Amino acid sequence: MMKNLQKTFFLIVLLFLNTGITKAQNNQFYNDAYQTIDNMLNDRQQYSFKEAVFSVENAYYQGKLDIDKLNGEIAFLKNFANSILQSRDLTYKEADKDKVSKYATVYSIMCQSLPVATKDTVIQYKPFSYDFTDVFGHNDITNLFVSKLLATKKGNCNSMPYLYKILAEEIGADANLALAPNHVYIKHNIKAGGWFNTELTSGIFPIDAWLTASGYIHLDAIKNGVFMKALNNKESLALCLFDLAQAYNRSFPGNDGEFVLKTVNRALEIYPNFAKALILRAETHKEQFIRLMDKHNLKIDNPESMKLVQQQDPKAKELMDVMNKEYGHIYEIGYRQMPEEMYLDWLVSLKTERGKYENKKLINNFTK
C-alpha cells in the first residue's frame, strides 16, 4: 500500500515538473524573439526587419518555422528585383532616380504581373494578392504572417507591407511603414512630390484624402502620430513587439499577462502613441482585474461588486485606476475604433473610387 502511494506521489510530481519544463521551453522561443528585437533596439545587434518578423513567427510556431526556406524565398525575390532594376529604365528624371527605381521594382513584384524569361521560354510572374479570408487573424493568427504570404502569395494589410519593407531593405532601399485604423501601408519620400502612399492591398497610390475619408482618423490622431506617421526602423520594430505579445496570447491563453506587459511596454518606450499597443496593455490590465474579481467570487458587470473588490483588495483598486487612466489616454490622443465590417468597405472603396483617390502623378513613374 505504502509503495503504491509513493509511486502515485512520484508520478504526480514528475507530471508537474514535466509540465513546468514544457512551458519553460515554450516560453523560451518568445523570450528569444523578445531578446532579438530588444538587442536591435539597443544597437547590440544589427538591425534587420526580416529577422525581427521571422523571429516572432518562429516563436509562435515553437521553433518549427523553416527559416532557411524563407530566406531562400526572399533571396529569390531579391535576385528578381535586381534583374528588373538592370533591365528597366523609369521615365522618372529627378536626382533620386536610383532610389525611386528600387521603390518601383518592389512595387512591381508585389502588385504587377510581369514577363519572366527562363531559357527559351517567357512565363508570366503572378503578383501577391489580397486574401479577404480572416483578414484580422481572429480564427488563425498565421493569416497575418509573412511566411503564410510567401507560401500562398495571398496576404493582407499586415503581411503585405511587411514583405514590401523586407524586400526594399534587401535591395538597399528604405521603406516606412505607416498606420491607419486596422491597417498598415507604406510611405515614401521622393524629390518629385514629397511624401506619398503605397497601398499594397489594392496596388494603388492613394492620396491622404482616402485615409481620412474613413471618418475614423481624428485630427488629434494625426498630430500625435497615432495614424499616418512614417515610422522609422525602430518604430517598425515596436510593431514586431506588439505582434509578439499578440502571438503569445494565442499560444498561452489565460496567461498572467506579465510577458505581454513587458513586451508592449518596451514597444511603447519606442513608439509612445502606438494605439494597438496601448489598447493591448489596457486590455491586459483588464484581464488581470477580472481574475481578481473571480478570486473574490464577484461579477465584473455588478457596480457594487466593483466597489467591494476595490475596498477589499488594494491591487484591484490599483488596476482599476490604471485602466481608467489608460483608456482615457487612448481616447485623448485621438484614437477611434473603426468597426471591422466598415474597414472592409473602406478598403474596397479605394478600387471602386480609385479615380477620386489615386495619386495620378505617380502612376506613370512606377509602371513604366
What would the pLDDT profile of 130-147 be if each residue is shown by its tens digit?
998 999 999 999 999 999
Is the predicted pLDDT of residue 285 greater than 70, yes or no?
yes
Tell me if 128 sits within 8 A of 163, measured CB to CB. yes
Query: Which range marks the domain in which residue 47 is found?
Result: 38-231+347-367
Domain total of the chain? 1
Position 363 scores a pLDDT of 62
More confident residue, 123 or 108: 108
Top-ranked range on mean pLDDT: pick from 6-15, 22-31, 98-107: 98-107
* 238 in any annotated domain: no
* 9 in any annotated domain: no
Position 314 scores a pLDDT of 81
* 209 in any annotated domain: yes
Position 365 scores a pLDDT of 60
Q: Could you read off the pLDDT of 250-262 as tens digits, one per residue?
A: 999 999 999 999 9
* 63 in any annotated domain: yes
| Per-residue pLDDT band at 23 (split at 50, 70, 90) | low
* 311 in any annotated domain: no
First-last CA distance in the chain: 85
More confident residue, 224 or 340: 224
How many CB atoms are located within 10 Å of the residue 158 CB? 21
Position 122 scores a pLDDT of 77
Q: Could you read off the pLDDT of 161-218 as tens digits, one per residue?
A: 999 999 999 999 999 999 999 999 999 999 988 999 999 988 899 999 988 888 899 9
Is the predicted pLDDT of residue 17 greater than 70, yes or no?
no
CA-nearest of 183, 232, 237 to 350 is: 183
* 273 in any annotated domain: no
What is the rounded average pLDDT of the residues 237-244?
98
* 100 in any annotated domain: yes
- In Å, how far from its chain's centre is CA 241? 9
* 267 in any annotated domain: no
